[in-house]
Amino acid sequence: MGITRRDFLKYTAVTAAVLGSGTGLKSIMAMGSKPRLLTSYTLTNCEMCYWKCGVTAKVVDGKVVKLDGNPLHPNSRGKLCARGNAGIGLLYDEDRLKSPLISVGKRGEGKFRKASWEEALSYIAEKMETIKKNYGPESVALFAHGSSGQYFGRLIHAFGSPNVAQPSFAQCRGPRDVGYELTFGENPGGPERVDMGKSKAVVLFGTHLGENMHNSQVQDFAEALGNRAKLIVIDPRYSLAAGKADYWLPIRPGSDMALMLAWINILITENLYDKEYIDSYSAGFKELAVHVAQYTPEWAEKETEIPASLIAETVRELGKNKPAVCVHPGRHATWYGNDVQRSRCLALITALLGAWGREGGIFLATNASLPEFEEKEYPEPAKESLIALCPYPFAGAEGVTNVIRDATISGKPYPVKGWIVVGTNLLKAMPDQKATMNAINQLDLIVSVDVMPYDTAMVSDVVLPECTYLERFDDITVSRGRSLGLEIRRTVVKPMYESRDGYTIARELSKKLNLADYFPWATVEEKIKARCGVWNIDYNELSAKGFISMPGSAAPYISPDNQPVFNTASGKIELYSSELKNKGFDPLPIYSPVDQPKEGSFRLLYGRSPVHTFCRTTNNKILTELFRENEVWINAGKARSLGLRSGDYVVLQNQDGVKSHRIKVKATQRIREDCVYMVHGFCSESKELGRAYHKGASDQGLITKYAVDPICGSTGMRVNFVTVAREV
């Protein structure tokens, strides 16, 4: 049961009035002797994935019974995906972490005893101080994902360590961001600033819109299709998006850059590019034109197995519809180890079409700003961060997880002896689980802060139960999309069990470490109110609406009065990258073939389900009813040759001899013969997850090999091959 926009506005008006009066919501009594149940609506935002859609939470008699999209929030626009609706399943999951735990067995045995918060935090603080005394504060590192990571980042920096990393860079979108930053001076954002609703043509290179279920983009995608935008999908698998396409190009995996370079060749040689735009805003066009002359569609046909005529026909569609063309930058970009240069190719195509900063392409981020919100400055670290010392010159500010893991194993350039892991399951996020466990076994301390007993939590020394996003405040998020916007997460119901919000956990630990000055506010809500005071924002209005846009800050398109700023060395779009050349890398993308599967084996591909967020939702009672276990897609002809049919169970074995748990076959013509595909995040090794334990097979367990991008240090993970055998 949703609510209409009219009802929504009524509820928010009532909420604002009540908050302004300083009183809580009161029961609304019926006009007779029978009382009605207490019903309230709270505006917050979701964290079932990292899109942070606005949510209207309905609470009846103290229990959350319904979640709807906030119509005022740009990421939801009144709608939620399956995962967003299933936030209730996370809140009331009986397998949740309920109290602090301290390990009582060997690391990895999963044996714990219940502890008080006082004991658990004292244990952690004592271990951290010992590591600091013996090795230095930089020997404690933080791995984080999600909203709570910011609080522990503050704690770790205050402690004196510069070592913080998130899988979102090295295992996801890092090379994409670097590729676009080298070209345009900034990345395409997150959510990506794609203007699909106004596109005349949309291009998806391995981007599974509709399956990754990024809410606002799926809505824009549907609008684009409704407006009859041309859709070109390049993917070895006939994805849901491919099913809507005008052109599906079932490319040979690893040859995407060959197709992109051939497209660039045709755009230039056939004068399909936006000459006025390129002349005004770019540098290096002549060098690019000479460079791509070798990459003809006939050459690309041999690499991609896409007919040269189709390569030419598809890019001509883009030239015909420029500049209103959305070449989607993608999100998960860690494929083959050449990922920065592949992302550079996408950026170059966008530039040649004149689509950066233009309607229907990628719109400009707002350049509006807010007053500085001052907090206590961190001490200068005694040693440089592992990221600064690593051999990857364009490693991102979010850090490189595998660099910290490698230093933990080797002790070089200095030892890492403590990990604080917040909101991320490293054993499911990073390639080569054996290396991750090897690193963990070198540690003097590993702490996990999470909602559920995921795999990494179960190999930790101390586990701290964080409350769900429906039970906590989180600091204001500043959105820099079409306009400057502010969003808030508010407590919908009180924390269950002994769980605490991330800010409180970090603050209480800071007291044990004599760092309380870095957390002067008793609660996140106090900090939010302080921010609102500095920014001249009405806290009650923000609470009542969940999201507010700052007036006068929208300027998404290039115009005579709104000229773009490119934060590159030349101050222009760098088609030829002087920054890459100065660091010893190719200033223009050069194609090199990747290894192909041997006879009898398949390249392992992986992706998303529209009803799951990696491994974080595979125990959710609501979502497991929709998708309980993953399947392995095998080309129907190949399946027949192996004597397999849909529904049979098989075991996959990779090139290093690692075997999967059993997984169900999906025999289909919707995938190339040289690939298999599975949804990521299944087959948890945590016995505490009653619905996720050993359900389906783990793609991450089979990803023992990876190709490191030499430019930014990210891990290309589509370089593993498997054989398929019937379950014995």
Amino acid of residue 573: I
Query: Which of 66, 152, 85 has the alpha carbon at shortest distance from 492?
Result: 66
User: Tokens standing for 34?
Assistant: 């029978």
**CA distance linking residue 642 with residue 654, whole number of Å:** 17
Contact by Cβ (8 Å): 355, 324: yes
Q: Where are the beta strands (DSSP E) in 4-129?
A: 39-45, 54-60, 63-69, 101-103, 112-114
* Other CB atoms within 10 Å distance of the CB of residue 579: 17
Q: Can you give the pLDDT at residue 395? A: 96
Query: Which of 589, 530, 496 has the alpha carbon at shortest distance from 292?
Result: 589
Contact by Cβ (8 Å): 462, 100: yes
Angstrom CA distances, 318 to 240, 297, 535, stand at 22, 16, 43
Q: Can you give the pLDDT at residue 36? A: 63
DSSP, res 148: T
Domains of the chain: 1-80+472-496+538-550 (no CATH), 101-166+399-466+501-519 (3.40.50.740), 177-364+557-582 (3.40.228.10), 602-726 (2.40.40.20)
**CA distance linking residue 716 with residue 728, whole number of Å:** 32
Q: Can you give the pLDDT at residue 34? A: 54
Query: Which of 658, 638, 659 has the alpha carbon at shortest distance from 650?
Result: 659
Which of helix, strand or coil describes residue 175? Answer: helix
Q: Can you give the pLDDT at residue 8? A: 44
* Other CB atoms within 10 Å distance of the CB of residue 148: 26
Contact by Cβ (8 Å): 48, 84: yes
Phi and psi at residue 87, in whole multiples of 5°? -60, -30
Sort strands 663-668 and 631-635 into parallel, antiparallel or unpaired. Answer: parallel
pLDDT beneath 70: ranges in the chain: 1-36
Q: Can you give the pLDDT at residue 302? A: 98
pLDDT digits (tens, 9 = 90+) for 423-443: 999 999 999 999 999 999 999
Q: Can you give the pLDDT at residue 26? A: 38
The residue count for the chain: 728
pLDDT digits (tens, 9 = 90+) for 617-672: 999 999 999 999 999 999 999 999 999 999 999 999 999 999 999 999 999 999 99
pLDDT digits (tens, 9 = 90+) for 714-723: 999 999 999 9
Phi and psi at residue 696, in whole multiples of 5°? 75, -160
Q: Can you give the pLDDT at residue 11? A: 42
Contact by Cβ (8 Å): 149, 129: no
First-to-last C-alpha distance (Å) of the chain: 47
* Other CB atoms within 10 Å distance of the CB of residue 446: 25
